[in-house]
Amino acid sequence: MGTVSSANFIVDIAPSRFAAHIAATPLIEIDTLIPSGRRIVIVAPHPDDEVLGCGGLLAALAERNNAVLLIAVTDGEACYPLASKSMALRISKQRCAETVEALRRLRLPAIGIIRLGLPDGKLNECDTLLATRLRRHLQADDIVITTWRHDGHCDHETVGHVVATTVASVGATLIEVPIWAWHLPSAATELIPWCTARCVSLRARWQLRKAHAINAYVSQLRAPATLDIEPILSPALLSSCLQRWEMVFT
Ligand SMILES: [Zn+2]
């Protein structure tokens, strides 16, 4: 997988085993989900989660007056476990630069980015520190978007749980987004909270900007040639992230 073509993503391939649930999920207007003037804080476990999970919504927000802050929990250095230390460092720097480019492609070039620099793949070992760091940055009026607490990746789940607890403690509003969830074993997907799920319908230009932003993550679309492994962003994952809608758990 080199790049995401607009031809691929225009085709609406719903994650098929969830088609009935998705069809029954109510739509929510962006104005209802995110009232005008509220600050949006995205808490992304890895560089790319902000785009995979809610890039379409971010493209929509770029046309509104909401302030947006990105809190990048890790720099994504452990995405290719076979990488040497020096290669991992190089990839983490590349991923951070890719985030800046992705946000530019979403027409959000000026938003603040706070990098926490916590260890990729080991967030379950520093959940208390993560909570402390988050509490410094969150405000009661914020709408905080993060990965679903049962998303099937250890870091996504740690961040989901810690953000949920921290948001509750500061009185902010929480929105969780699924990314890996569509590809979990059936037993795990029984946890999907369909009763609080809502779909945000994306306009064509927001979809296109999301695909364009995903393409900024070259490091995730193409693994280093010397490792001879598949890239992180598989065609299946990309298909589920490039729908005409984004699902949120409210
Ligand atoms: Zn991630």
Name, of 13-27, 79-93, 150-164, the range with top average pLDDT.
Answer: 150-164
User: What's the predicted TM-score (pTM) here?
Assistant: 0.91
The answer, yes or no, to whether residue 171 has pLDDT greater than 80, is yes
The answer, yes or no, to whether residue 12 has pLDDT greater than 50, is no
Q: Are 102 and 59 in contact (CB under 8 A)?
A: no
**What distance in angstroms lies between residue 180's CA and the mean position of ligand 1's atoms?**
8
Rounded to whole angstroms, how far apart are CA atoms 96 and 92?
6
pLDDT at 40: 97
**What distance in angstroms lies between residue 155's CA and the mean position of ligand 1's atoms?**
7
**What distance in angstroms lies between residue 44's CA and the mean position of ligand 1's atoms?**
7
pLDDT at 65: 82
**What distance in angstroms lies between residue 139's CA and the mean position of ligand 1's atoms?**
24
**What distance in angstroms lies between residue 102's CA and the mean position of ligand 1's atoms?**
15
pLDDT at 3: 46
**What distance in angstroms lies between residue 49's CA and the mean position of ligand 1's atoms?**
5
Q: List CB-based neighbours of ion ligand 1 within 5 Å.
A: 45-46, 49
Amino acid at site 167 = V
Which band of pLDDT confidence, cut at 50, 70 and 90, is reported for residue 15? low
**What distance in angstroms lies between residue 48's CA and the mean position of ligand 1's atoms?**
7
Cβ neighbourhood burial of 19 (10 Å; 0-12, 13-18, 19+): exposed
**What distance in angstroms lies between residue 154's CA and the mean position of ligand 1's atoms?**
9
**What distance in angstroms lies between residue 204's CA and the mean position of ligand 1's atoms?**
25
Is the torsion defined by CA of 140, 160, 176, 55 positive or negative? positive
Which residue intervals of 77-197 are DSSP H helices? 85-105, 127-137, 154-170, 186-189
Q: What average pLDDT does the structure give for the chain?
A: 90
Q: Are 220 and 177 in contact (CB under 8 A)?
A: no
pLDDT at 60: 96
Q: Where are the beta strands (DSSP E) in 32-111?
A: 40-44, 68-74
pLDDT at 122: 95
Provide mean pLDDT across the span 79-99.
Answer: 90
Q: What is the pLDDT of residues 186-214, one digit of tens each?
A: 777 788 999 999 999 999 999 999 999 99
